[in-house]
Amino acid sequence: MAVVGGGSTAIDAARTAMRLGAAEVNLVYRRTREEMPAQPLEVEEAEQEGLKLHLLVNPIRIVGNGRVEGLELVRQSLGEFDESARRRPQPIANSEFVLPVDIVLAAIGQSSDVACVEKCGVECNRNTTVKVDNKLVTARAGVFAAGDVVLGPATIIEAVAQGNNVAQTVDTYLRTGEPLSKESWLAYDKVPLTYKMEDYAEATRAEMPVQDPVVRRSNWREVELGFSEDACREECKRCLRCDLEEKESAKP
Ligand SMILES: Cc1cc2nc3c(=O)[nH]c(=O)nc-3n(C[C@H](O)[C@H](O)[C@H](O)COP(=O)(O)OP(=O)(O)OC[C@H]3O[C@@H](n4cnc5c(N)ncnc54)[C@H](O)[C@@H]3O)c2cc1C
């Protein structure tokens, strides 16, 4: 079978298909591996389970006689940068070929269904996200929004961060009738450090223990086995040190 797409949904669909017994799962994506929106680790884990990646190819039609027998693909090269700051894929002439598959799953183009909120006076953008100001306030008084419906398809951590912020806005609004200013969010987040960040400047990311690829391919248990409490605490102390690169590059 073939899964079309390069995001989290495509990877999940492919890994689920393997667990349901698909003999061979191919993932086709029109850009390069570096540009796949899915998390690199998940792509790697899927490959360890047997996923076959076909990069810089775009589907043009499904071929078959009464049933799916293949997916016709055309090879792509990367051209000019588009509005998403990624180079736009362009078809290479006469590079079509057929990938023999019996099932094609499309896992592209995730969007929010905003029809119901639009009817209630909540303004939306053309890309089906809800319009908010920098306090996550929508066009309708007393209605707030956060997460994918504001950001577009994003990640859990971004949704959690916005959820935290919008909760503070709603709390203040309910108590005072006024939304909290964005600047005040940071004041809520400051927590005194109980250790020296410098001690963790060289610390590297802890490696997550995972189930063996051959075993996990045929079960539904979580792939990641979780950190021990100690590893978890150390991982929380690890500083991202976003300033380090700047300091290093400033050196003569
Ligand atoms: C297949 C897939 C795999 C993903 N994998 C990852 C991953 O590995 N890592 C990662 O960080 N992110 C991943 N993501 C993205 C992540 O799931 C989202 O970014 C995150 O869930 C967004 O959180 P949210 O609260 O904004 O929205 P959601 O989690 O989508 O929650 C919205 C909720 O609103 C409910 N709802 C919708 N309409 C209505 C309505 N009219 N009335 C009442 N309730 C309604 C929905 O049922 C849902 O429960 C994945 C997404 C998908 C689809």
Instruction: For residue 13, give the ligand 1 atom closest to its CA.
Output: 1
CA distance 182 to 165: 8
Ligand 1 centroid to 81 CA: how many Å? 29
DSSP letter at 90 equals: E
pLDDT at 6: 96
Dihedral (Cα; 32, 37, 38, 43), 10-degree rounding:
10
| Angle 231-34-227 from CA coordinates, rounded to 5° | 10
Closest to 101 (Cα-Cα) out of 62, 65, 75: 62
> What pTM was estimated for this model as a whole?
0.80
CB 29 within 8 A of CB 5: yes
CB 98 within 8 A of CB 1: no
pLDDT at 244: 54
CA distance 213 to 122: 46
Ligand 1 centroid to 152 CA: how many Å? 10
Closest to 205 (Cα-Cα) out of 170, 240, 160: 240
CB 72 within 8 A of CB 58: no
Instruction: For residue 149, give the ligand 1 atom closest to its CA.
Output: 26
pLDDT at 149: 97
pLDDT at 155: 87
CA distance 4 to 94: 21
Q: Which domains does the chain have, with CATH numbers?
A: 2-106 (3.50.50.60), 115-184 (3.50.50.60), 197-249 (no CATH)
CB 129 within 8 A of CB 153: no
* Most informative mutation of 16, 108, 155 for ligand 1 (most atoms within 8 A of CB): 155
* Most informative mutation of 112, 151, 156, 224 for ligand 1 (most atoms within 8 A of CB): 156
Ligand 1 centroid to 111 CA: how many Å? 11
* Pocket lined around ligand 1, Cβ cut-off 6 Å: 8-9, 12, 116, 147-149, 154-157, 159
Ligand 1 centroid to 158 CA: how many Å? 11
Q: pLDDT under 70 in the chain at which residues?
A: 182-191, 240-252
CA distance 31 to 2: 16
Q: How many Cα atoms within 13 Å fall on the side-chain side of residue 169?
A: 23
Residues 6+ apart with CB under 8 A from 58: 28, 30, 73, 74, 76, 89, 91
Looking at ligand 1, which residue's alpha carbon is closest to its atom 38?
113
